[in-house]
Structures are given as structure tokens and as C-alpha cells.
Homo-oligomer: A and B are copies of this chain.
Amino acid sequence: MAVPDPLPSAQRRGRPRSAAADRAILAATRAALVEIGWSRLTMGEIAQRAGVAKTTLYRRWAAKSELVIDAVAVLFDELRLPDRGCLRADVEGVVLSFAALLRRPEAKTALMAVLAESTTDEALRPRIREAIVDRQKRLVLDGRARAQQRGELPPDPADPAETARVVDLIFDVIAGAVVHRSLVSDCPVDESWARLFTTLLLEGLGAVSPPPAPGGAAAGAAAPDGTEPTGGGR
């Protein structure tokens, strides 16, 4: 919430805030975003669709950006990482499901709009990270742990900072490439592209994931999924 709950105390005086109003507002925000886009989305419009007074919106959110972040955060929580048996399949899966999310108008519009706002609005950046970005990083962590259990990746190195560097890199490469291809290059993220990209990523990954111990799973890193890359020649 942008505007803090008035009092964290058990029960304040006066009429309590309507939880139904909250739900109606967030739903109306998503619906309006799909229909009329970010720039024509106004607080008055949202209030009208939600059957709520404008003051009720401002009592809860300080700005349109913050309301939209809360409204679309739930969409990004729907991303899942089902176990597809091997690391390559898991990576391709997350690439494709992230791309599918970015095809939903309310998701892509809201994401890009609040990111754009955040280039000017300092306070917006942590809010976006908390509500949207960081939640996807768990996918990387989960997939990495699963691959380590399978023996496809070496265990974490001794230095946890080293692990964080690599995890962040992987996250920026995956999310960045998918977003860029989807929304900037405006090209489809299909299975063919996902396979090619995954090949590049997994191969490159071996070079940046140091082995934790002198002996170990280096061979697994060198051929993480046990298949030959597209082009074959190695």
C-alpha cells in the first residue's frame, strides 16, 4: 500500500474501510488498463468503474503508478516453475511462460509504464522491485536449486557473494532478453527462439559458474542438459 494503513492498532474508531472497495478498485484498474491503456487511464475513470468515489482511491494510494503496481503485482505472482525434468526444459519453460505473461496487455502496459515512471520517480523503484521484479528472481533460485539437486549444476561456491553475482546475472540476462525481444524488438518469443536462447545461456553459464571444489561437477556444467547444442559442431 502506498498510503500507510491509518493505524496498525487492532480496531480504530469510526467506519472501517471497505475491503470490497479495495477489490473493486484493483479489478477495475486491471480492466481499464486493458481497455484504454496507461496514458488514458485516470483516477476518475478507475473510481467510476469501481463504483467508488475518487477520495476513496486517494485515501489508499498516493498516485496512479502505485495503484497500478498493486493491481498488476498479482499477475506476476502467477508465474510458476513446474519441474520439467531437466534444466534446459525448465529454462525454456520459464522463458515461454514469462513471454506469455508479457503478451497480456495489462501486464506489459503496466510493467513498462511503471518502469518508465521509475526513471524519474526515485521512490517508485524499490516499490516496483518489491512488488514485481524480485518475485521473479525466486524462479532463478528455485530452478538453480533444482538443477543442483539433479546434479546438473555444481553446488554453490564457498563465497555467497559469488553466488549472488551469478544469480543476478542470469536473472538480468533471461528477463532482459525476453523483455527486449518481446517489447522492443517486437518479435515473437516462440519455442524456436527459446531453444536457441537457452542453448546460449546454458553454455555461457558453464563459463561463469566456478566449481565449488577442486574436483566436481565441471563436466555437468560443460554439457548441462546432456544434449548437443543446435549447431552441433562441438
Which residues of A approach B to under 8 Å, CB–CB? 37-39, 105, 108-109, 112-113, 115-121, 125, 128-129, 133, 165-166, 168-169, 171-173, 175-181, 183-187, 193, 196-197, 199-211, 218, 221-222, 229-234
Number of copies: 4
Question: 15 pairs across A/B with beta carbons < 8 Å?
Answer: A38-B119, A38-B120, A105-B119, A112-B116, A112-B119, A113-B116, A133-B185, A201-B204, A203-B203, A207-B230, A208-B229, A209-B231, A210-B230, A210-B232, A218-B233
* Chain B hits for A211, CB < 8 A: 231, 233
A136 CB to nearest chain B CB (Å): 10
A170 CB to nearest chain B CB (Å): 8
A10 CB to nearest chain B CB (Å): 22
Given contacts A201-B204, A210-B232, A233-B210, contact A183 B37 (CB under 8 A): no
Q: Residue on B with the closest CB to A231?
A: B210
Distance A38 CA – B121 CA, assembled complex (angstroms): 10
Distance A215 CA – B200 CA, assembled complex (angstroms): 22
Inter-chain contact B203/A231, CB cutoff 8 Å: no
Q: Residue on B with the closest CB to A181?
A: B172
* Chain B hits for A229, CB < 8 A: 207-208
Inter-chain contact B180/A168, CB cutoff 8 Å: no
Inter-chain contact A200/B210, CB cutoff 8 Å: no
